[in-house]
Amino acid sequence: MRNSKYIIVLLISICFYLGGQSQEQVIYKQVDSVKLFMEVYRPGISNIATKHPAMVFFFGGGWIGGSVKQFEPHARFFSQRGMVCFLVDYRVEGRQQTTPFESLKDAKSAIRYIREHSDVFNVDTSLIVAAGGSAGGHLAAATALTDDFNENSDNMSVSCNPNVLVLYNPVIDNGPGGYGFERIGDAYKSFSPLHNIRKGAPPTILFLGTKDNLIPVETAKYYQTVMNKVGSRCEFRLYEGEGHGFFNYKNFDCYKKTLLESDEFLQSLGYLKKEPTIKIE
């Protein structure tokens, strides 16, 4: 096992020296017969001794379905900007007949796995961004804000809390009247990001369309208000006339705008530099 780790590191080192955008797939977790993967996108040219910020993406789909491919364009862009990007698969009802609670367990496991293997991925463990859309936005936020729903097999000495959040029309309220309450029930008190905001919550940028049929604008505004009350930075970007999922690649104009605003937000935190300038396509 020890030798296999060194072989992995050697192969990664070769990728770094050869240049060009590097992609791979790793198993981060196995539950019974279910193997969960994450796709890894690395900066094209890098010194193997350099530690990079990481960006971890969780796809949307109501904890029922969805695909890691949703955020592939984002991962390609931010990896070229100098981040190590991860597209995380997790258990959903449609494929594994699981509940939203298992989805959250997997999201936390994924971030712990990245931290535990930071030397292999060349990741700076203090510069981890969690990002996601819709239910994936919930998972990103909940890894930072909630304490419960951890896999028993996880190394609990390793933090699952990201340092920054980038949320695209996220499911942030699972309480009565909020999204998913019929499946979450009273567990919303420890599952819902809005109900678990606390001092030390990570800097956040949140994107939403004014015509989102799932996430009310007032909910997002209230989330920002609560974040401000606990002293955490929360920037809110409202897109007039846009509905749920407006940020996806198929809606290229909004995809480009939200991508650049995410980039500028990360620049303001010191996670990215202004250069290199990457063509968005």
> Considering the domain boundaries, does residue 277 fall inside one?
no
Q: Which pLDDT does position 45 carry in this prediction?
A: 63
> According to the model, what pLDDT value does residue 14 have?
35
Torsion of CA 63, 67, 257, 226, to 10 degrees: 20
Which residue positions in the chain have pLDDT lower than 70?
1-22, 45-48
Separation CA 29–CA 36 (nearest Å): 5
146 in a structural domain: yes
Range of the domain at 58: 2-268
Evaluate whether residue 93 is within a structural domain: yes
In a domain, 101, yes or no: yes
Q: Which residues are CB-contacts of 167 (< 8 A; sequence separation ≥ 6)?
A: 131, 132, 137, 140, 141, 204, 205, 206, 207
The answer to whether residue 36 is domain-embedded is yes
Whether 158 is covered by a domain: the verdict is yes
CATH number at residue 102: 3.40.50.1820
Q: How many domains does the chain have?
A: 1
Here the tokens at position 260 are: 């650049």
pLDDT of residue 20: 45
pLDDT for residue 44: 76
Q: What is the pTM of this model?
A: 0.92
Rounded-to-integer distance, Cα 90 and Cα 160, Å: 15
